[in-house]
């Protein structure tokens, strides 16, 4: 019988912890994943985040009738020793300082070094596998040195790693969202993780936002000023404030960099542009036909959250939660491959032991 490196066999379920969990997009996707071999499901054990509304969202959607511990704590002061053993660690460490938009501070910023707490948990709990997620700007932060440091630390924790970039729109997610996914398996397992193959299932923003129930939660409209409404009238689907012909009184007087998503309308025939956690200065995301910003439920649809997933907190907090999350649909696809890999390791070790 194959035993994990921690000596834990949990029936047909693999236990995972979710660091920097946000509202629970990855955890939801992992719970939806199904395996066809010895390991058939992924079960959450604990999650950690410092954002109270995100933790409340996680608790109310992912913890009902389950023994899942949600720690709403600052990871910098949190006692890692109290964490229960896990088979898998997931950590989408904060991407603010690695984003291609903004100051690009990398390790020099407030959020860049937070990945190290994932490494500390790997060294402390020694799970068989980890999944780390971040923006593609991670690879170029600090002239590439930050990414090399992160990969080195993960390998030195005892893992063989696979680093791949994915375009989520190629997997049926109705938005253009590009991310780096790092998967690690304990070197002793001799696992072979196979990169996910795109399904090339195209889901447009028009399809994603179709038939939202009138009584759907988190579906409140944002109050638009008359000037914003008038400005939007001049912007066609798929266009933004910079590539549209606006009267001078409606033009933006901005010097320097011009973000392409400022007052940008969706194109209903294509996946949306990237859903983010921001919303000020014309970055709410805008409907292709109606002269308004998207509601949070519409943004959640673009992130593949089901309509019965209720977000907690003020509207601005909910917008932040949605924008920072990993789309559950991609989490499910990734979870399926993780289960497949574990099952392959199990079968290999079982055959070796029976020789």
How many whole angstroms separate alpha carbon 261 and alpha carbon 284? Answer: 9
Residue 16 pairs in a beta bridge with 44, 88
172: left (phi over 0), alpha (psi -120 to 50) or beta: left
Name the 3-class secondary structure at 269.
coil
Q: What is the rounded CA–CA span in Å between residue 185 and residue 155?
A: 10
Token representation of residue 13: 């379920």
CB within 8 Å of 228: residues ≥ 6 apart: 263, 282
What is the distance between the alpha carbons of residues 188 and 158, in angstroms, rounded to a whole number?
8
Within 13 A of 131's CA, how many CA atoms are on the CB side? 27
Neighbours of 14 (CB within 10 A): 27
CB-based contacts of 120, cutoff 8 Å, min separation 6: 80
Are the CB atoms for 289 and 232 separated by under 8 Å?
no
Q: CA–CA separation, 321 vs 55, rounded Å?
A: 10
Catalytic, 72? Answer no
Which member of 21, 95, 129, 343 is catalytic? 95
Calpha distance 316→337 (Å, rounded): 34
Given a contact cutoff of 8 angstroms between Cβ atoms, the answer to whether 159 and 121 are in contact is no
Give the tokens for residue 190.
């001799």
Of 158, 194, 193, 181, the closest CA to residue 5 belongs to 158
Q: Give dist(CA 326, CA 28) in Å, integer.
A: 10
Q: What are the start-end ranges of the H helices in the chain?
A: 25-32, 52-62, 115-125, 145-156, 205-208, 226-232, 296-302, 315-324, 328-353
Active site residues: 95
């Amino acid at each position: 019988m194959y035993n994990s490196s921690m000596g834990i066999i949990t029936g047909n379920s693999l236990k995972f912890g979710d660091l920097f969990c946000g509202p629970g997009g990855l955890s939801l996707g992992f719970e939806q994943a199904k395996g066809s071999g010895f390991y058939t499901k992924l079960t959450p054990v604990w999650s950690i985040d410092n954002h109270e509304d995100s933790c409340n969202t996680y608790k109310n959607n992912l913890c009902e009738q389950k023994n899942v511990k949600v720690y709403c704590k600052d990871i910098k002061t949190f006692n890692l020793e109290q964490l229960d053993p896990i088979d898998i660690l997931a950590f989408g460490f904060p991407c603010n300082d690695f984003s291609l938009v903004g100051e690009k501070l990398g390790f020099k910023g407030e959020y860049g070094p937070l990945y190290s707490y994932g490494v500390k948990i790997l060294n402390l709990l020694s799970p068989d596998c980890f999944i780390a997620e971040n923006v593609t700007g991670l690879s170029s932060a600090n002239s590439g040195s930050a990414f090399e440091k992160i990969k080195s630390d993960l390998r030195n924790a005892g893992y063989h790693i696979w680093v791949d970039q994915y375009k989520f729109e190629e997997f049926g997610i109705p938005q253009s969202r590009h991310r780096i996914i790092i998967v690690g398996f304990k070197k002793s397992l001799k696992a072979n993780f196979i990169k996910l193959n795109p399904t090339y299932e195209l889901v447009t923003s028009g399809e994603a936002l179709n038939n939202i129930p009138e009584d759907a939660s988190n579906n409140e409209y944002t109050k638009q000023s008359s000037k914003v409404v008038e400005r939007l009238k001049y912007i066609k689907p798929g266009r933004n404030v910079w590539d549209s012909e606006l009267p001078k009184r409606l033009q933006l007087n901005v010097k320097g960099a011009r973000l392409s998503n400022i007052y940008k309308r969706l194109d209903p025939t294509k996946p949306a542009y990237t859903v983010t956690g921001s919303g000020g200065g014309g970055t709410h995301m805008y409907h292709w036909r109606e002269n308004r910003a998207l509601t949070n439920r519409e943004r959640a649809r673009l992130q593949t959250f089901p309509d019965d997933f209720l977000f907690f907190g003020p509207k601005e907090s909910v917008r932040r939660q949605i924008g920072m999350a990993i789309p559950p649909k991609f989490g499910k696809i990734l979870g399926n491959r993780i289960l497949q890999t574990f099952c392959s390791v199990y079968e290999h070790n079982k055959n070796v032991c029976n020789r």
